[in-house]
Structure 1
Amino acid sequence: MEFPFRNARPKTVRIYQFKGTCPEHEDAPIVYENIQLINMNRTFFVSMRVKVKRNLSHGLKLRLSLSRCANRESLDSCETYSTIKLSRFCKLLVAEKEPWTAFVKRFSPPMACPLKKGTYIVNNGTFDGSAFDNLPVVNWYWKVLINILDEVTNDLLLCATIEGQVAPI
């Protein structure tokens, strides 16, 4: 059996924009603030505040809507690529031995579901950009709409966007 991505070239992730709120949902119960991303040797150091404006009584669902564009200069070429839906996001968020575990553990105070009103801060949480090495995502400019929903009511709790591309080194 041959694996087509086995000899994939290393890639780097270029984030051009990360907005912690969507213009039409600035009153959402959860917002990301003061987002700082530093890319060093394919590792991202992420600092941000997650502001939870009220106590939440249910678990969370995550919905990622991915659009791909021919390039950054041709945003009129964007097309819907995929929507990823994850139920029981709280359980996944705090899972051990996952690629994001170290990042989540850096939050102060610690994140736990259901989320309580407050400001959760992470300084220099890490994300390994080499996770994209084996994915067929190069040669596109990506726009990702991040929605977190109430697991029971489906109410929108967070809306954020991120734009960037994955490119060979």
Structure 2
Amino acid sequence: MFKPGLILLFALSLLVSIDAIAAPAARSAVKLPALSGKSGKRSLRGFMTSDETATEERGTAEVTQKLKAMLSTSKLGQKLAALKQARIEKREAFVKKLLEDKADYKTLFKNKVTVEEVYNGLHISAADTLFGNPLLMSANLIKAKGYSRFVWRIEQRRRGF
């Protein structure tokens, strides 16, 4: 089974290479300006503006988008998404339990609780963070800001600042 497949692959590659060699080369009617610069090499993107290179499409981006769409609609993709969602909900419940038990900052940090998880666990919205005055802040917001400062200080110590 291996040998016939190998022979077929070799024959196909030989056929393709012969067709490519035998094809006549057509001359381009485009006149290129004189080369400038130190090296004088031509560039495929040399005559494009910067906006065109930023919006240039690439084949791999399309393939990844199609693959993501295919995986999201397949049963395997749906099972993986359900497992991920269950893991997220389990983590949120764990963080809420820690916050209800009034765990200190060190315990939260040891359990790798992020600042965003603390904000979500304490039900702090964007409207709560608008006030900079400590008298207008809720107790939950003060606790969350304290934890974010605690994490920031530890990160600064690790970096050596």
The reply to whether TM is greater than 0.5 is: no
Q: Normalising by structure 2, what TM-score?
A: 0.17
Q: Normalising by structure 1, what TM-score?
A: 0.16
Which is richer in helix?
2
Which is richer in strand?
1
Tell me which structure has the larger Cα radius of gyration: 2
